[in-house]
A and B are shown apart, each in its own frame.
Chain A
Amino acid sequence: MIQYIIKRLLQGIILLIIISGALFWLMMNVGDPLATMGGRTVTRPADKERLTRQLGLDKPIWLQYLYWLVGNDWTKVDPDGDGIRDKSGTRLGVLRGDFGTSLVARKPVTELIGERISNTLILMVASEAVTIFFALILGIYSALRQYSVSDNILTAVLFILYSMPIFFISLMSMYLFAVLFKKWGLPYLPTVGMFDPQVGKTPTQVLWHMVLPVMSLSVIYFAAYSRYIRGTMLEVLSQDYIRTARSKGLPRRQVVYVHALKNAALPIVTVIGLDLPFLLGGAVVTERIFAWPGMGRLFLDHLSRADISVVMGILMLVATAVVVFQIITDVFYAWLDPRIRYS
């Protein structure tokens, strides 16, 4: 098992290095990071040349990538931009935990992402929890009443939700729960931001502002999950050992929630584990609509200004999360199901 984990980790690291190389090359071609550096004032050509040298943008891409990956403290660089490489570099490189400095915010990337990641995680974890909770209830419910009227209605509704673009459900829920509720004199929900600046960032404020984005995110994933849970439960419920459990007179509840759910949980856990890091992708659109100060918005803001180090930092963080969650899911799966042996 340990050997298996080490092997997977090594494969993961190689994969991540390949991904980072490809993304770095793409990012080097998305635009000129210097174009927006001076704000509204036009940068003079001489300054631009000096900045290019200072930031090391005159180097070939492979060398810049190498600096990004392993740092440049082992070589001479040109920090004052006079064309002479006189001082040794200060960057440590991604492999030593230094993701560089944002050209736009003039702050270390790790600090920028660190400020935002918790906001995104709150949103993700809450919506995943809501999703799983309701998907389990409805998935099991409709599996137990297969082809009944309520199952058919539920299937149709879930299909509609499943086809729903996330921005459409967000806009509709904002319109209903904020605009119309306000018009009708009902207590209405806030639509943008994380807290009311006049009240401050209190837990109740954040919770209150979370309701709509979490609801929109959950509804989308919920539809796919409950269909999946329904399918898995149906498969397990038709197996021989369930019939045996029933025929020896066990109560229905025990058969469903202990015997069946335990085995149906295996594929469900896998899907959840593999999906978790991909929630970060859904957060991009949601955060933009609800003006949530998370990583998705950080990504959009800095991509539009070609701020390579921030964009690369976020992309690599997400890619690493995907790799790590794949390994965790596999290990967890083997632990849950003793029939599985990795070698």
Chain B
Amino acid sequence: MTAQTSSLPQLVDDLSTPPLSLSRLVWLRFRRHKMAVFGGILLILLVLYSFGGAFVYTEKYANFNDTSQRLLPPSLEHPFGTDSIGRDILARTIYGGQISLFIGLVAVLIETILGIIVGALAGYYGGWVDAILMRITEALLNIPTIFLLLVMAKFFGGKIPEIEFAGRSFSGSVVVIVVIIGITSWMYLARIVRAEFLSLKEREFILAARATGTSNIEIIFLHILPNTIAPIIVSSTLSVANAILAEAYISFLGLGVQEPTATWGNMLDKSAKYLDSAPWLWFFPGMLILLTTLGINFVGDGLRDALDPRSRTV
């Protein structure tokens, strides 16, 4: 009897390939996806650019305007040129990048929390809870997001004062934009989570959890939710790109983050006027937005393949 139990660890060692943990498996498959790795590196570089760049240029310098230096083309002193009131565009893309990335991540955090709660409640409880929540979801899906965002931006606009954080002041519109992107984009995630809950709640392990008297909250968040994490990760990753784009769209239309706080989106606003005379005004922030969304889409695509439960090959 004792001989048997002591031989067990040895048995595991004898296996030709040791069993892989899920995260290890996902990483191995993600690594094979060349475009995803490229996207990941691109994103790391962009984060280094926006946060590392802050050590090179101060925020004061990014907001410093000198109208005698306006609309200068790229040069050694101003590698990306200067804007219509003489601010250095390179420094502004660095600080704008911080805000754009921050907006993307926090908006998706709000979106994911809302999506999970709505989807989980609708899928788990069904009945009238499901009916009401799904009608709200449908209603929101019925209006193109850009219209909703614009109406909401106008609704909340100017109602939040400037915010002091970490020794820097931010326009209150940053908070407004984060919140409105979050509350207008959770619907697809809610549908995904609901569909997962609908099939998972019928499984035996849930029946077992109920039989042992586990509370509904525990079943939802500790037993079902961990099993739906793969599609949530994929959807949320891709949403970051959409959130950054959404910020750029509303800022481009003049209802987004207000000056002097820079974002890649509001740097583009009004730059269309200088289409031919100063193309560097829109080229650099536009390119940074493109690289960010491209990197996120590559990573999201790679994660989708790597997390796909139907393909278990390494």
- Residues of chain A touching chain B, judged by Cβ–Cβ distance below 8 Å, are 15-16, 18-19, 22-23, 26-27, 29-31, 156, 159-160, 162-168, 171-172, 174-175, 178-179, 191, 277-278, 280-282, 284-285, 288-289, 299-300, 303-304, 306, 311, 314-315, 318-319, 322-323
Contact = CB atoms under 8 A, between A and B. Distances in A.
B138 interface: yes
Interface of B: 35, 135, 138-139, 142-147, 150-152, 154-155, 157, 241, 245, 248-249, 252-253, 268, 271-272, 275-276, 279, 282-283, 286-287, 289-290, 293-294, 296-298, 301
A125 B270 CA distance: 28
B276 to A, nearest CB: 4
B282 A300 contact: no
A323 B279 contact: no
Contacts of A311: 151
A15 B136 CA distance: 9
Contact of A300 (B138, B157, B253, B297): B253
B298 A15 contact: no
18 contacts: A15-B135, A15-B138, A18-B135, A26-B151, A159-B35, A165-B286, A167-B252, A171-B275, A171-B282, A172-B286, A179-B275, A278-B144, A281-B145, A284-B147, A285-B249, A300-B150, A318-B147, A319-B142
B252 A315 contact: no
Given A29-B155, A300-B150, A280 B144 contact: yes
A299 B147 contact: yes
Contacts of B301: 159
A172 B268 CA distance: 12
B154 A303 contact: yes
B279 to A, nearest CB: 6
A318 B157 CA distance: 24
A213 B248 CA distance: 19
A31 B35 CA distance: 47
Contacts of A319: 142-143
Given A281-B146, A300-B253, A167 B286 contact: yes
Contacts of B245: 165
A281 B144 contact: yes
Given A18-B135, A163-B294, A168-B289, A323 B142 contact: yes
A320 to B, nearest CB: 9
